[in-house]
Chain A
Amino acid sequence: MLAALTMAGGASVMAQGLLGGQVTGNIQLDGQISRRDTVIGSEDVPQKLLSNARADILYTNGNFSAGLRYEGYLGPMLGFRPDYEGQGIANYFVSYKTQNFAVTAGHFYEQFGNGMTLRAYEDRYLGIDNALRGIDVMYRPFRGIILKGVIGQQRYFWESRGLVRGVDAEVSLNELVAAWNEGKTRVTLGGSFVSKYEDNSEVILADVSGFKLNLPRNVATSAVRLDLAHGGFGLQAEYAHKSQDPNDLNDYIYREGDVLWLSASYSKKGLSANIQAKRVDNMGFRSVRTEAYKEMLYINYTPAISKQHTYAFLSMYPYATQSMGEMGVQGDFMYKFKKETLLGGKYGTDIHLNASLIKGLDTTRIGGRGTDGYTSTFFGTGDTYYGDVSVEVSKKLSSKVKFAATYGYVVFNPIIEGHAGDIHHNHVVVGDLTWKINKKNSIRFEAEWMGSDSKYDAAVDDKRCGDWIMGLVEYNFTSAWFVSVSDQYAYKDGVGNYYNVSMGYTKGATRLQVGYGKQREGIICIGGVCRNVPASNGLTFSLTTSF
């Protein structure tokens, strides 16, 4: 099949003339030299130098494109699974795309709806790549209807595993029904169905000794979704259901899973409000049921609904969806005080409020492996997992100076990272000032403080505990260079002093960054997924370019 498509693709290239196409690409090289440090807990690296490299090369000729990606992990960087060790072509595809029809053979990334049934995606910094290798087809029979179908295996380090099949349909009523074309109310409906197949000959013992589990070979998720907009109002909803799927995540119970996600928003010029609510129950869906690596082989994705904070102390306790079960609400409010008003001043003032609360489900245990596991009530809640409130005010003080002040309060239950302990309550204050000296030079100061009721305990070894201060100065000059110096210091009830010096150079699409200092051990979250990064102490560099 793949060969046939390649030939077909090749033929079409021939037809259009080989010289008509274009080649583009991008290259990234990251490296690290880390040394032992007993306070922050970093270890010596036997290879001395660790590096991750990749190069994407893309050939495009009209509607036809083909690509391949080299990846090399010659000593995978700290935080990446050692299984990545090696180098080679990790991704290749050919694809043909027109407005009404598209087909990709080889590796592809795809998402149905919000990803609750299928999301094949990549996050290179987290070492996540669950690209599907197979066939991805999109067909638009007429305006307003889009059908998609996928079949493939998932990437697992240097191989492909599992078998995933899925279909998705999306109907835009406004495009479909001529009379509604210009309607103020816009309605889009969608539905998806994804099934994975896995052999069930493996022996997984039940809690009742002498018995193994009768494992389902086909496990399916299905979902319906709605996207409704009327002027400034918007409502989005998706409900997904998963059939019996005893797996490593749910400790092999037969309970079916589901997730309901709602988002409502209102916005107009200078004002916006958004509320989201979500209930997840046993929705972890992976193509290999025994997979224990945290981020590998996920077929679906359940978005976290708390805000992705960017300041260091606010994001110190990041939250990732507990796909086994959680319930949460989140509210987000933005307002712009206009220029020349009392609070707006000369340049206007932006205010951004955000709050979220996420709790566990109220469950009643039935049994262990080989049972339905537990029951839950729809509206009942259990332990508090996470909560935060933040207020950010940003204001241009003069044509050259911009200032932002943020206050945040974060409640974090260590149980979501798998260990017991007291809930941490943290207050965070951030000041962020940018001074644009002239057209080509600017300087930025950032100061953060975090007061916490948590105290460092060597037995638990959570290096985030305690009260912290942080300072950062960043100087940008000639619009191409930057130098930054920062330090995080635990001044009370904590341990550690994380200093860092970085500099970088950017020209067009090329960027080189070199840093020296200490990296905190902890969870780094990008794109809603979190990964444990070990402490490191030493030099890091990163080079990226596109052509």
Chain B
Amino acid sequence: MKRIILSIAAMMCITLGMAQNAKMPDNINLKSLDGKTVQSSVIQNYGGVVILSFWATWCKPCNTELDAIKEVYEDWQEETGVKLVAISIDDSRSAARVKPWVDGKDWPYEVYLDQNKDLARAMNVGADVPYTFIINAEGEIVWQHKGYQPGSEEELFEQVKAALK
């Protein structure tokens, strides 16, 4: 076991110095709201910027954030062509509620389920949501943010605009 850890650590050390913008993983399985298993490579905006937002039905600030962005989403899309993809980390206690929840909230977002938190783990989201990423056209993570405070969507939008450049 020691040898395994050492070899993994060695690989990491070699590459750590080379770190640049991390790519968003494209090989993680997610579920679409109609029950299909899809790979995370479906999350893209064909040359545009993606806001990737991890959330859960039971998370108040997540809902506040997604509600707040909804108010301005049309304007954002018009100005930047950005697309928001919401990843629910609800477990089986509330996963069946996600689709009705999204409809009831009338959210215009693309939503996927990450019940086993595979994508959340692969993207180092940790245990807390909301957690928001901005992915540029090359699929690189250019900005990430933990938590939501009223008004922080403004900064998010600034970062979207920055990612376009």
A and B touch in the complex (CB under 8 A): yes
Interface residues of A (CB under 8 A from B): 2-3, 6, 10, 13, 18-19, 21-26, 28, 56-61, 63, 65-68, 89, 92, 94, 97-99, 102, 106, 109-111, 113-115, 119, 121, 123-125, 138, 146, 170, 172, 174-175, 186, 188, 227, 229, 232, 234, 236, 263, 265-274, 276, 301, 303-305, 307-308, 310, 332, 334-336, 350, 434, 436, 438-442, 444, 476, 479, 482, 506, 508-511, 527-528, 544, 546-547
26 A-B residue pairs with Cβ-Cβ distance under 8 Å, sorted by A, are: A23-B16, A23-B19, A24-B123, A24-B124, A57-B12, A65-B25, A97-B28, A98-B27, A102-B29, A109-B116, A109-B118, A111-B92, A121-B117, A123-B127, A170-B37, A174-B36, A265-B100, A269-B106, A303-B94, A305-B93, A332-B97, A334-B104, A336-B104, A479-B149, A509-B124, A509-B144
Using Cβ atoms and an 8 Å threshold, which residues of chain B touch A334? 100-101, 104-105
Q: Tell whether, in the assembled complex, residue A272 and residue B100 are in contact, meaning their CB atoms are under 8 Å apart.
A: yes
The answer to whether B5 touches A92, judged by C-beta atoms less than 8 angstroms apart, is yes
Write the nearest CB–CB distance from B135 to chain A, whole angstroms.
Answer: 14
Which residue from chain B places its CB closest to the CB of A544 in the assembled complex?
A: B126
Which residues does chain B contribute within 8 Å of A234, judged by CB atoms?
A: 96, 99-100
Q: How far is the CA of A511 from the CA of B127 in the complex (A)?
A: 13
The answer to whether B15 and A21 touch across the interface, beta carbons within 8 angstroms, is: yes
Which residue among B1, B11, B36, B122 has the maximum number of chain A CB atoms within 10 Å of its CB?
A: B11
> Once the chains are docked, how many angstroms separate the CA of A63 from the CA of B64?
35
B152 at the interface (CB under 8 A from A): yes
Residues of chain B lying within 8 A (CB to CB) of residue A508: 143-146
- A18, A89, A438: the one within 8 Å of B11 (CB): A18
| Contacts beyond the supplied A113-B92, A236-B96: 10 A-B pairs with Cβ under 8 Å | A59-B15, A65-B25, A92-B5, A102-B29, A125-B127, A170-B37, A272-B101, A442-B150, A476-B150, A509-B146
Q: Do B126 and A546 touch (CB < 8 A)?
A: yes
The answer to whether the Cβ of B58 comes within 8 Å of any Cβ in the partner chain is yes
- Of the candidates A146, A310, A434, A527, which one forms a contact with B91 in the assembled complex, judged by CB atoms under 8 Å apart? A527
Min CB gap B132→A, angstroms: 10
Q: How far is the CA of A194 from the CA of B79 in the complex (A)?
A: 51
Could you give, for residues 103-136 of chain B, a 1 whenever the CB lies within 8 Å of some chain A CB and a 0 otherwise? 1111000000001111001111111100000000
Q: Which residues of A contact B99 (CB under 8 A)?
A: 229, 234, 265, 267
B80 within 8 A of A: no
B100 x A274 contact (CB < 8 A): yes
Q: A99-B39, A276-B96, A527-B93 known; A270 and B126 CB under 8 Å?
A: no
In the complex, are the beta carbons of A440 and B29 less than 8 A apart? no
Complex Cα gap A332–B101 (Å): 10
Main secondary structure of the interface of B (DSSP, over half): mixed
Instruction: Check B147–A303 contact: CB distance below 8 A.
Output: no
B7 touches A22 (CB 8 A): no
Provided the pairs A2-B4, A89-B5, A138-B29 are in contact, do residues A482 and B91 lie with their beta carbons within 8 angstroms? no
Find chain B residues with CB under 8 A from A310 CB: 58-60
Set of chain A residues within 8 Å of B19, measured between Cβ atoms: 22-23
A267 touches B100 (CB 8 A): yes
How far apart are the CA atoms of A547 and B125 in the complex, in Å?
Answer: 10
CA distance A269 to B104 in the complex (A): 6
> Residues on B close to A: CB < 8 A?
1, 3-5, 7-9, 11-12, 14-16, 18-20, 22-23, 25, 27-29, 34-37, 39, 58-60, 64, 91-97, 99-106, 115-118, 121-128, 143-147, 149-152, 154-155
Contact at A273–B155, with CB atoms within 8 Å?
A: no
Contact call A479/B16, Cβ cutoff below 8 A: no
Bound-complex Cα distance A59 to B9 (A): 9
How far apart sit A482 and B151, CA to CA, in the bound complex (Å)? 13
Docked Cα-Cα span, A111 to B91, in Å, equals 10
Closest to B8 in A: A66
- A479 near B151 with CB under 8 A, answer yes
Taking a contact as CB atoms closer than 8 A, the residue among A23, A63, A102, A265 that contacts B12 in the complex is A23
In the bound complex, what is the Cα–Cα distance between A174 and B145 (angstroms)? 37
| A23 partner residues in chain B, CB cutoff 8 A | 12, 15-16, 19
Cα-based distance from A339 to B125 in the complex (angstroms): 35
Contacting pair A479 B154 (CB below 8 A): yes
* B126 and A110 contacting across the interface, CB-CB below 8 Å: no
Decide: A528 near B93, CB < 8 A? Known: A56-B124, A269-B103, A546-B144. Answer: yes
Q: A230 CB to closest chain B CB, in angstroms?
A: 10
Chain B CB within 10 Å — which of A124, A174, A305, A332 has the most? A332
A240: min CB distance to chain B, Å? 12
For the complex of A and B, list the 4 residue pairs with the smallest distance between their C-beta atoms, beginning with the closest. A272-B104, A272-B100, A267-B103, A334-B104
Tell me, in angstroms, the Cα distance from A158 to B164 when the chains sit together: 46
A residues in contact with B59, CB < 8 Å: 310
- Closest chain-B Cβ to A311's Cβ sits at a distance in Å of 9
Instruction: Give the distance in Å from the alpha carbon of A513 to the alpha carbon of B71 in the complex.
Output: 29
Which chain B residue lies CB-closest to A507? Answer: B145
Give the contacting residue for B35; candidates A61, A63, A227; CB below 8 A.
Answer: A227
Cβ–Cβ contact B96 & A442, under 8 A? no
